Amino acid sequence: MATYKRFENLPVWQAAADLAAAMFPWTIFPVFRGKGDLANQLQRAKSVPCYA
């Protein structure tokens, strides 16, 4: 079992950061706008620093 000193090194954290980065360009489309504003949530998720 691997030991991680920083949560940013967790594979699941890195996968989530990659997913957020891949989804970010989609936030320009109107389907992501509206009640709840999914675009805003995705943009805020992308603003979390990504460590590779």
Phi-psi region of 48 (alpha: psi -120 to 50; beta: other; left: phi over 0): beta
- What's residue 15's pLDDT? 94
Average pLDDT over residues 27-40: 72
- The residue that leads in pLDDT, 36 or 16, is 16
pLDDT tens track for 1-23: 789 999 889 999 999 889 888 88
Domain residue extents for the chain: 7-46
- The residue that leads in pLDDT, 49 or 44, is 44
pTM score, whole prediction: 0.55
Q: Minimal CA–CA distance to 43: which of 18, 20, 22? A: 20
pLDDT above 70 coverage of the chain, percent: 71
30 is written with which tokens? 């109107």
Cα(30)–Cα(15) distance, rounded to whole angstroms?
A: 26
Spell out the residues 6+ positions from residue 28 whose beta carbon is closer than 8 angstroms to its own: 39
